[in-house]
Amino acid sequence: MLPQLLLQMARIQHRQGRPMAEIEALIAEAQAWAEEAGCAHLELHSLALWLTLVDPDDAESQRALRYRLGEVALCDAPVLIRWRTLLDNLSAEARPPQRPRRGRRDASTRARHG
């Protein structure tokens, strides 16, 4: 129960514009409690909140979230999808946008235009 309260407090304090150090401390404490209790869901929640509110580029947290997602039962599909989407979005933001290649046409364009 305490990790859930800590995560809720972190979310509320973030909305109120409180210092990031306070938010980081709440999330870190929630994660430590979740790890001690062996509660994968709360650990996942704390990692996701860290990546959402504190540091989306934290590669270690991204790896930890990916690893823990592999350990959660498939019956938890809705929450798994939300956390996997978070990771996918963070990965996509980290990649530079691809430029279209000029001067090359694919096979269907060549067939139409000769």
Asked if 63 and 51 count as a contact pair (C-beta separation under 8 A), the reply is: no
pLDDT at 2: 87
| pTM exceeds 0.85 for this model | no
Q: Give the HSE-up count for residue 104: Cα atoms under 13 Å, Cβ half-sphere.
A: 4
Report how far residue 4's alpha carbon sits from residue 17's, in angstroms, rounded to the nearest whole number. Answer: 20
Note the pLDDT tens digit of each residue in 74-86. Answer: 655 666 677 777 7
Asked if 46 and 37 count as a contact pair (C-beta separation under 8 A), the reply is: no
Report how far residue 8's alpha carbon sits from residue 14's, in angstroms, rounded to the nearest whole number. Answer: 10
Percent of the chain residues past pLDDT 70, beyond the cut: 74
Note the pLDDT tens digit of each residue in 44-76. Answer: 899 999 999 999 999 999 999 888 887 776 655
Report in angstroms the alpha-carbon separations of 80 from 15, 47, 75.
25, 13, 9
Q: Which two three-digit tokens encode residue 29? A: 């404490």
Average pLDDT estimate for 15-33: 96
Look at the chain and count its residues. Answer: 114
